[in-house]
Amino acid sequence: MDDQLAIPVGTTLDRFIMRKQEEFPYATGELSQLLRDIALATKIVNREINRAGLIALAGTFGQQNVQGEEQQKLDVIANIRFIRALRNGGEVCTVISEEEDHLIQTGNTNGKYIVAIDPLDGSSNIDVNVAIGTIFSVYRRVSEAGDDGTLADCLQKGAKQVAAGYIIFGSSTMLVYTTGCGVNGFTYEPSLGEFFLSHPLISTPREGKIYSCNEGNIRSFPEGVRAYLDYCKEQNYTGRYIGSLVADFHRNLLKGGIYIYPPTTNYPNGKLRLVYECNALAMIVEQAGGKATDGSGRILDKTPTELHQRCPLLIGSRDMVDKVHKFMAKEAVPTAG
């Protein structure tokens, strides 16, 4: 960590990755290459996202592009681009994606790594020009190299992540990631085609004043969460909800706050996906000094049983997460008499 203090703001992502690799004399450079592959795919997806408005316009002339091909939706495009970059890179044997039902075998049977990805998060915000994102987790395979990755490789608990990150396509594009030694954020400079270190060693405030949830569902929130939201209002906290998890999480990470997606009538296990969304953000928030739970235990300790399993999420500033838990515990205590 001390070494990182010597890596100045403005360092390019490539150089940063190289410097980090040098800190581990036995590192083979494969994880570094994997991160570069993700950065490359991000640049391509960023270009597609910025053109999305024009693509929609073109769509009004018959839903086809100039080659006469059907226009694809951005979440499909993002899925294809990330998978292609990871396949071409060679370090990943298997990709699992929120957009795919099954394991995607890259054919790189000697690849050491598994990547789980939500290629486009906040997809309902695409058409209205609001911030969206990408979320990814990297695991080391547990099966022997030399063959395809297995379901067991993909169903490791979040604590086993070797790296995790997200990309936010907002007023600027940022890539934020951790390899377990702190969290660093890089801002994209499109005219140079480079990411530059802009947010070194992000640490999230211990306490915050922002709460983020879809209050339209409040009637079906657990009693303890409702009581906590009343408390937030008594405290004059600020309510902020974009509806793109990445964007809500990113704001709260930097400013201090809590994001809550509890069980609801429509989503009895919460809406978010443990493997594609919750685990990566949980690793990042913990690395930044915050906390992530499912309302009863640590997200990173949950062993997934299914690729697409959903899970409640309470994530953000440590004291705020602890406070909701206190309200939820009261709910659980049977009243006397």
If residue 92 lies in a helix (H) or strand (E), which one and from where to where?
A: strand 92-97
Residue 248 found at the interface with Mn ion (CB under 5 A):
no
Which C-beta is closer to Mn ion: that of 120 or that of 167?
Answer: 120
Residue 121 found at the interface with Mn ion (CB under 5 A):
yes
Residue 122 found at the interface with ligand AHG (CB under 6 A):
yes
Number of residues that bind Mn ion (CB under 5 A): 4
| Segment 203 to 232, residues that bind ligand AHG, using CB under 6 A | 214
Q: How far is the CB of 148 from ligand AHG (least distance, A)?
A: 26
Instruction: Give the residue, chosen from 91, 118, 286, 294, that forms a contact with Mn ion under the rule CB under 5 A.
Output: 118
Instruction: Give the residue, chosen from 98, 248, 286, 294, that forms a contact with Mn ion under the rule CB under 5 A.
Output: 98
Instruction: Give the residue, chosen from 121, 153, 286, 294, that forms a contact with ligand AHG under the rule CB under 6 A.
Output: 121
By CB under 5 A, which span of 33-41, 121-129, 284-292, 327-335 interacts with Mn ion? 121-129
| Segment 19 to 58, residues that bind ligand AHG, using CB under 6 A | none
Query: Residue 243's binding partner, choosing from ligand AHG, Mn ion, none, with beta-carbon cut-off 5 to 8 A by kind?
Result: ligand AHG
Instruction: Give the residue, chosen from 243, 254, 298, 322, that forms a contact with ligand AHG under the rule CB under 6 A.
Output: 243
Which C-beta is closer to ligand AHG: that of 74 or that of 232?
Answer: 74
Query: Residue 153's binding partner, choosing from Mn ion, ligand AHG, none, with beta-carbon cut-off 5 to 8 A by kind?
Result: none
Instruction: Give the residue, chosen from 32, 97, 244, 252, that forms a contact with ligand AHG under the rule CB under 6 A.
Output: 244
Q: Which residues bind ligand AHG (CB under 6 A)?
A: 98, 118, 121-123, 214, 243-245, 271
Q: Which residues bind Mn ion (CB under 5 A)?
A: 98, 118, 120-121
